[in-house]
Structure 1
Amino acid sequence: MTTTTTELPYHHLPTENPNQPISQKSLLNLLTTKCTTSLHLLKQTHALILKTNHFQDHFIAGSLIKSYSNPFHNPSTSFLQVFHQVPNPNVFVWNSVITACVDNNDPCLALVYYSNMVHCHVVKNGFMDDGYVRSAAIRMYSSVGRVVEARMVCDYGEKDVVCFNAMIDGYLKCGEIESASGLFDSMTKKNVGTWNAMVTGLVKCGMVEDARKVFDEMPERDEISWSVMIDGYNKNGCFKEGLEVFRAMLGEEEVKPKKFVLSSVASACANVGSLDQGKWIHAYAKQNSIELDGVLGTALVDMYAKLGRLDLAWDVFETMKRKEVSSWNAMIGGLAMHGRAKDAIELFLQMEKKRVQPDEITFVGLLNACAHGGLVDVGLECFDRMQDVYGVEPTVHHYGCMVDLLGRAGRLAEAEELVYNMPMTPSPAVWGALLGACRVHENIDMGEKIGKMLIELDPQNGGRYALLSNIYAKAGRWDDVKKVRTLMKENGVKTTTGRSTIDIDGIVHEFKIGDSDHPRAREIYEMVEEMIAKLELEGYVPKTSDVLFDIEEDEKETTLWRHSEKLAIAFGLISTSPGTPIRVTKNLRMCEDCHLVIKLVSCVYKRDIVVRDRLRFHHFRNGKCSCKDFW
């Protein structure tokens, strides 16, 4: 900052003896009164402070920084320029500049200056030779994106593996993958923490395959190594691979899985539909006296609920000595997913009696339960009470649940009105819920309007195109179906492939639509033919409106029978003994024809069949479904 020491008109200053120097008290009084509303006066006072050598006074310097940071003066960087001229700033001066950054809505810059203050204190007191102190400084700078300063600290003094590990972690957290890899490769001495830092960082950057390559090259692994790799696969949707890593971990005698690893594996089991593996985890925890706390206990509740075993989820929930709000949420959410709306509400009332404060997720579970159970009035009451009684501000997710609730009940006009009156911008998911309701209730006009708008809002989401195509197909508007498919190709969008999994004797088998790669494919399709013949005797007529192609009716029927969940159930029928329940997990919403077929199969073959699709669980028994054809 450019300053001047020319004579200024000091008629605004307090009158003191001209032979006596102006006092600190007078200058401080001036800075905190008249200078707060006049930038011109502040600059004059600044000049006077320099002229009279009061700038050496840290209290004056800090107060001057505070004055320049006053939003009234449109400070920009002027207070920073003043700060950088202060010699050897003390804590008061540092605090002034940090506060100024916060007051001017720049919290990141405040963190940077806080980091610099700590660093100066470390250097001043001779702590930089301590590797652990330097490591902490590296993490501090990295946390605010200052990797250059972090690297300077890393390179100071003797080379230290602890500092290098912190630097690798810092680079990766800031997205500087090449720098992290370069440092990692240059290290002649690595410990398990070095490898863990690299694997963890790559996983967080979404580079799971690269992380796996590093993981496979590790000369030794500890529990963190295994946990990070399993959790990384889970968070990137690679659940089968996560389970494979866990099985490899069990072969290592010196590493025993603990609750965090077990909770990650429980999540993977839930997502691939592996009930046997999930039960093994539960048994392992019991055998090794691992407490079912808010982490592992909640993970098991969630796992069993997602695997269709509400009874086992409830057993775990009941045996948990310490239930966190997340534990209650998992159980309420599980009941909601299974269409047990009244049970979910009853559990919430128990939660109230235990004086457990519900949170946002609690009400997402409750509203979903009401939507799947068709309890519109109860859902509306819950939505009103969440803010008025519990002080939980509705988010876009809660509004999405309400739109789904009204839409499923056929109250499309009310749902649309709610969307337009939301206090925040509706997300594509909210509009998607309304579009799905239009498809179910065959409201072509509203569906077409919302579908076109959604494709503009979310052009890379293949599900939006599929829903609109489905609406057109049901109306027989095949030209419009072709236009939607053409638009998808132009935008480079692909629909998600339907996949269904089934766990037979601890091995997860996955099927895609029209799959012929399975070793028992011939037997599976023979069973499909048998199913068709037996179901037709029961009066089965294919719902060809679910086929989104303008093809002949017999071709549509063939297409329907190649759906992944039908193949998975056919495999279940040939792979298990009569009367054994069949459990299938699908990544997409089940179509109406598959729903009808599975109801008939459960009756004809006398099997309980549980199917978890993207939206909920369906329990089929004796020709009926727990959803009561409302999904």
Structure 2
Amino acid sequence: MSTTTTTNLPHHLKPKDISTESTSASKLSQKTILNLLNTKCNTSLQCLKLAHCITLRTGHFQDHYVAGTLVKCYANPHFNNFGFALKVFDYVLNPNVFVWNIVIRGCLENNEPSKAISLYHVMVAANSRPNKFTYPPLFKACTITHAIEEGLQFHAHVVKHGLSRDGHIKSAGIQMYASFGRVREARRMLDGEGDSDIICWNAMVDGYLKCGDVEAAKKLFECMPDKNIGSWNAMISGFAKCGMNEEARKLFNEMDKRDEISWSAIIDGYIKGGYYKEALEVFNEMQREDIRPRKFILSSVLAACANVGALDQGRWIHAYVKRNSMRMDAILGTALVDLYAKCGRLDMAWDVFEKMTEKEVYTWNAMIGGLAMHGRAEDAIGLFSKMQREKLKPNEITFVGVLNACAHSGMVDEGLAILDSMKNVYGIEPEMEHYGCVVDLLGRAGLLEEAEELISSMPMEPNAAVLGALMGACRIHGHVELGERVGKVLLELEPKNSGRYALLSNIYAKAGRWDDVEKVRRLMKERGIKTTAGSSMIDVGGIVHGFKMADSSHPQKKEIYLMLDRIFERLHMEGYSPKTSQVLFDIKEEEKETALRYHSEKLAIAFGLLSTAPGTAIRIVNNLRVCDDCHSATKLISEVYNREIIVRDRVRYHHFKNGKCSCKDYW
């Protein structure tokens, strides 16, 4: 670029603004300028602008390697200045392939994959011949944008230019074809001319697994000429993503060497499959081998801790982050907010949230959702308002959290107003989940006719979740006729969902219609449906203990059952009367009382009273809704034993203290 073209540059980049000191360096060599750009201008935009001025002043911008390096520096995502990088690129006269490759790669680094594809067409039209470095980022751009036609054209150009043998091109092409679901084309690239390195083999294994062809992946893995840690990791990740956790763990145990990706793959696999305790066991094993976990593993483990209520282990991770001066980014911070909220420590969740300097929409959503779970509707709505004051636009998940908060607190008018504002104020079309929240809100409040009217007015057919919310309201308010009608529809929609049968049975049982209860049970037997067993978990001293109804597997079962007998002796002295309507069998009252006594959360509470110091809070996670009897019994236990008992059920939190519950018996 000659000095006559600099008049179009921004004022601060014109040569006349360069200091006398920098202009005296007009004889700087190409090597010196390249060294300056590559070493001094990667972190300082001010330094880069000065180097840009020097480049223009000395005439070195006409050198393609200098100009390309300058574009590369401006394209650094750290500067968030890619638009200006493209402007600088526009001034490069007849850019060679080096410059084109830099700007194409810069498009990917700055999340502009479509721009990379369009620039290639300009490059070809300018008669600039691509080389082996041009196509890997283009294949990746097609993968991201799912640009199948363009990907096929790029492959044709690779063949045309005689670049098919290059390993980097082959591995990128294999990944692209696999992302399109075209494993045959991917395999042809692997088996085609030229040697396929281990990266190509790994890409093909990963491609088979992503397309769900586990057997083909296993066969290819077994016949690979060489394997590295990446090969093993691809198989472990693939098995885990396909829900084959046993196979993933078997391979994991066979590895001679493991890296962070190996540990992360097996932990993530367990978490995605709902095996949270197993994920924590692997993390503990990782600690015993003195492997320092990084943030992406810690975020996954925090999710596992949140789901099983492992507060102590979650707090250890928080302390580890502080101890190692790890940056609290939005992902890690949000994981901690979610952990503390789901473990019943809203105070600690709020403390983390307030101290976070980087907050994304999902961070606010986690805090709003946490407040909603705890029945703190006014605080959730207040945070929603604060979010808007800070000019952060809410998304669909934000409204799910706020509407859930209204549902758990009976704030009907507020919930209806928020639903109406989604489209009219925020331009967000309500989805099925939002309507489900409002149906739940109306149903809990006993407004069943209004709930039915809302379902009828929905712009889509109601799904099982929406109808399930209405049916749950029928159970609460004893509306047998409507509950029966909705229940029959649900059994057709979800014939394998045991919860729907249980809910319908519960409605019949509360109404004393035992013949109908038996019909539902027979239907379940005919269809091979098994009910989901109630289970509760309690974290004591960093160890998570699990209980099921009438569980006898715990090492301290004798002490637990003896403690449970003592608890009920005291409860009966205080006037406790079991709510036997919760039992779905037509049996004697004594048998009903016995069945209620050994619910999983009562066993967990007994263990908590045995294993923790007087006055210590007891925290329990339950996989099902708390039943009426457990709710009333736990209120009384909290008063008799002077304990705070925090129970997280499938829908919300219950804080029991001094004989009262935070839900105010509205759940």
* TM-score clears 0.5: yes
Q: Who is 1:166 aligned against? A: 203
Shift in CA distance, 110/595, structure 1 to aligned 2, threshold 3 Å: closer
Aligned to 1:58: none
Give the equivalent residue in structure 1 for 2:305.
269
Verify: 1:349 aligned to 2:385, yes or no: yes
Counterpart code for 1:278: G
Q: Tell me the residue number matched to 1:381.
A: 417
Alignment of structure 1 residues 458-497 onto 2, 5 Å? 458-497=494-533
Q: Secondary structure at the match of 1:509?
A: strand
Are the equivalent residues in 1 in contact too, given 2:174–2:203 (CA < 8 A)?
A: yes
Residue 391 (structure 1) aligns with: 427
Deviation per residue, 1:537-583 (Å, 9 max, x gap): 11111000000001000000000001000000000011111111111
Deviation at 1:174, TM superposition (A): 1.1
Q: Distance in 1 between matches of 2:421 and 2:148?
A: 43
CA distance in 2 between partners of 1:420 and 1:228 (Å):
45
Instruction: Say which SS state the counterpart of residue 295 (structure 1) adopts.
Output: helix
Structure 1 residue 112, shift from structure 2 partner: 3.7
Cα distance in 1 for residues equivalent to 2:144 and 2:195: 31
Structure 2 SS opposite 1:493: coil
Q: Deviations over 1:314-343 (max 9, x none)?
A: 011011101000000000000000000000
The residue aligned with 1:125 is 161
Q: CA RMSD in A?
A: 1.6
For 2:398, the equivalent position in structure 1 comes to 362
1:91 Cα offset (Å): 8.7
User: Superposition pairs for residues 75-474 of structure 1, below 5 Å?
Assistant: 111-156=147-192, 157-253=194-290, 255-474=291-510
Question: In structure 2, the residue corresponding to 1:514 is in which secondary structure?
Answer: coil
The one-letter code matched in structure 1 to 2:496 is Q
**1 CA distance for matches of 2:289 and 2:151?**
42
Q: Specify the code of the residue in structure 2 equivalent to 1:180.
A: A
> Residue by residue, what CA displacement relative to the aligned partner does 1:115-146 show, whole Å, maximum 9, x if unpaired?
22111111222222221111001011111111
1:293: how far off? Answer: 1.4
Q: Provide Cα deviations, 1:260-307, integer angstroms capped at 9, x if missing partner.
A: 100100010011111100000101111111122111100110010000
Instruction: Indicate the residue corresponding to 1:602 in structure 2.
Output: 638
Indicate the SS of the match to 1:158: coil
2:146–2:180 contact (8 Å) kept in structure 1: no
1:559 aligns with: 595
Stretch of structure 1 that moved more, 203-212 or 159-168: 203-212
Which secondary structure does the structure 1 equivalent of 2:560 belong to? helix
Q: Is the 8 A contact 2:344 2:653 kept in 1?
A: yes
Q: Distance in 1 between matches of 2:146 and 2:311?
A: 50
CA contact (8 A) 2:170 2:196 kept: no
Equivalent position amino acid for 1:273 in 2: G
* Structure 2 residue matching 1:169: 3-state secondary structure: helix
Output the CA distance in 1 between the equivalents of 2:498 and 2:234. 36
- The one-character-per-residue Cα deviations of 1:84-133 (angstroms, maximum 9, x if unpaired) are xxxxxx999xxxxxxxxxxxxxx999944322211111122222222111
Shift of 1:416: 1.0
Deviation at 1:421, TM superposition (A): 1.6
Query: Per the alignment, in what secondary structure is the counterpart of residue 423 of structure 1?
Result: coil
Contact conserved, 1:172 with 1:180, CA < 8 A, in 2? Answer: yes
What is the CA–CA distance in structure 2 between the aligned matches of 1:479 and 1:110, rounded to whole Å? 56
Checking the alignment, whether the CA contact within 8 Å between 1:108 and 1:144 is kept in structure 2 is no
Q: Is contact 1:560–1:593 with CA below 8 Å preserved after alignment?
A: yes
What's the counterpart of residue 77 of structure 1?
none
Tell me how far 1:173 sits from its aligned partner: 0.9
What is the CA deviation profile of residues 192-249 of structure 1, one whole-angstrom value per residue up to 9, with x for unaligned ones? Answer: 1111111111111111111111111112111111111111111110000000111111
Distance 1:159 1:126 in 2: 16
Tell me the equivalent position of 2:654.
618
Q: Secondary structure at the match of 2:330?
A: coil
Q: What are structure 2's unaligned runs of at least 5 residues?
A: 1-123, 127-142
CA 1:310 to 1:184, structure 2 compared with 1: closer, same or farther past 3 Å? same
Does residue 526 of structure 1 match 2:567?
no
Partners of 1:314 and 1:407 in 2: how far apart?
Answer: 31
Aligned residues: 527
**Equivalents in 1 of 2:368, 2:662: separation in Å?**
17
Deviation for aligned residue 1:401: 0.2
Q: How far, CA to CA, are the matches of 1:256 and 1:297 in structure 2?
A: 19
Shift of the 247–526 alpha-carbon distance from structure 1 to 2, 3 Å rule, reads same
Q: After superposition, where does 1:543-558 map in structure 2 within 5 Å?
A: 543-558=579-594
Provide the C-alpha distance between the structure 1 equivalents of 2:404 and 2:606, rounded to a whole number of angstroms: 31
Residue 620 of structure 1 aligns to a residue in which SS?
A: strand
Identity %: 63
Counterpart Cα distance in 2 of 1:110 and 1:168: 20
For the structure 1 residues 339 and 181, does the alpha-carbon distance in structure 2 shift closer, same or farther, using more than 3 Å as the test? same
CA distance in structure 1 between the partners assigned to 2:665 and 2:342 by the alignment? 20
Quick check: 1:386–1:392 contact (8 Å CA) kept in 2? yes
The alignment partner of 1:510 has SS state of: strand
